[in-house]
Amino acid sequence: MRQRSFISLAAALAFLLIGSVAVYAYDSAQDDRIAKGVKAGGIGIGDMKTVDAREKLRHRLTERLSRPIYATYHGEKFRLTAAEAKLRIDIDGMVDEALEESRGGNAVTRTVRAIVGGKVDADVPVQASYSKDAVDRLVKRVASGLNRPAQDASLDFSTGTLKSVKAKKGREVREDPLRSDVQHALEQPDGDRNVGVSVESTMPKITTRNLVKKYPTVVAIDRTTHTLTLMKRLHVVKTYPIAVGMAGLETPAGTYPVVDKQINPVWHVPNSDWAGDLAGRVIPPGPDNPIKSRWIGITGGAGIHGTVETGSLGTNASHGCIRMAIPDVIDLFDRVPYGSTIFIH
């Protein structure tokens, strides 16, 4: 009886020993085989030997990741090639990690999983390296190409015609999100390799409303066309014919405020050669005073006044002042308050 029990025990131990050896032998034979279900970069490499998995990943990932990346904004594109990015993929490292995922557990659990057709649910991420300097250069190139400063509202009198330039919003590339998106695209095998560029609006410091407030009344004088234009809230109200300074006594170009206003003004004759015997005298209102009806004075002694010499209008005839017909200067006088801006071109 004892002999029979011993034989049974020995047989059981022998069976276990043989089974263990078989399990160990089978598991060892799987040392370079990746478990079913394992992926790398979304590419299935399960139930493949490591050498075959490397070849498949090298073909599939190199083909996908070698395509250029484009940063796009409303049809504009900025390209970054794999060569420029110095993109490198660690295929060996990915396969090693996939194999490590496959070898989880022990020999028995791995063998049982293989026998019953079990799978390992694992997807090894792409192990990519690239030049961050190259990414930064792309971001700076995009910003340089797309950034647009906000445009302040302004008045343009460079051509002799006063025009208001409207304020415009600017735009600025959001560099940090773009940098992050490009880096993410470099590491991902899927997708169309287009990265959208996001921008934010920048506001002008001077708006059209600010400009209207700064220049409620403007007088624009064009010496070439001999016209004076009155503007209210940057809109043309009326245009008048004028005479301006003759050669050698030109009406001074520039921007001036209205600093003086007089009705039937006294004429303080300047001490100039052209004044002759009148130089330095004070001429009261009357027939001997050429400054008729109204005086709108600007910095430097020049100003706008009425004249009876209406034949001079449309010419360079004065000693530096701006002449107007008397009805016109009376009309203008009441429309132009102190501090109004006068542009002379």
Q: What is the DSSP string of 57-96?
A: HHHHHHHHHTSPEEEEETTEEEEE-HHHHT-EE-HHHHHH
Q: Are strands 303-307 and 316-318 parallel, antiparallel or unpaired?
A: unpaired
pLDDT higher at 26 or 250: 250
Q: C-alpha distances in angstroms, 59 versus 45, 63, 89, 122, 192? A: 12, 6, 11, 21, 18
Q: In the predicted model, what is the mean pLDDT of residues 66-71?
A: 92
Instruction: Calculate the average pLDDT of the chain.
Output: 87
Cα 92 from chain centroid (whole Å): 42
**Could you tell me which residues come within 8 angstroms of residue 309 by beta carbon, excluding any fewer than 6 positions away?**
243, 290, 317, 323
Which is nearest to 235 in space by CA: 164, 131, 307?
A: 164
Q: pTM to 2 decimals? A: 0.64
Indicate if the pLDDT at residue 288 is higher than 50: yes
- 318: closest CA among 329, 307, 334? 307
Residue 6 pLDDT exceeds 70? no
* Closest by Cα among 57, 55, 63 to 39: 57
Q: Are 219 and 251 in contact (CB under 8 A)?
A: no
Token pair, residue 120, equals 């390992």
- pLDDT > 70: percent of the chain: 86
Q: Which amino acid is at 109?
A: T
Can you tell me the mean pLDDT for 161-190? 91
Taking each continuous run of H as one helix and of E as one strand, the counts in the chain are: 9, 24
Question: Do you know the residue count of the chain?
Answer: 345
pLDDT score at 103: 81
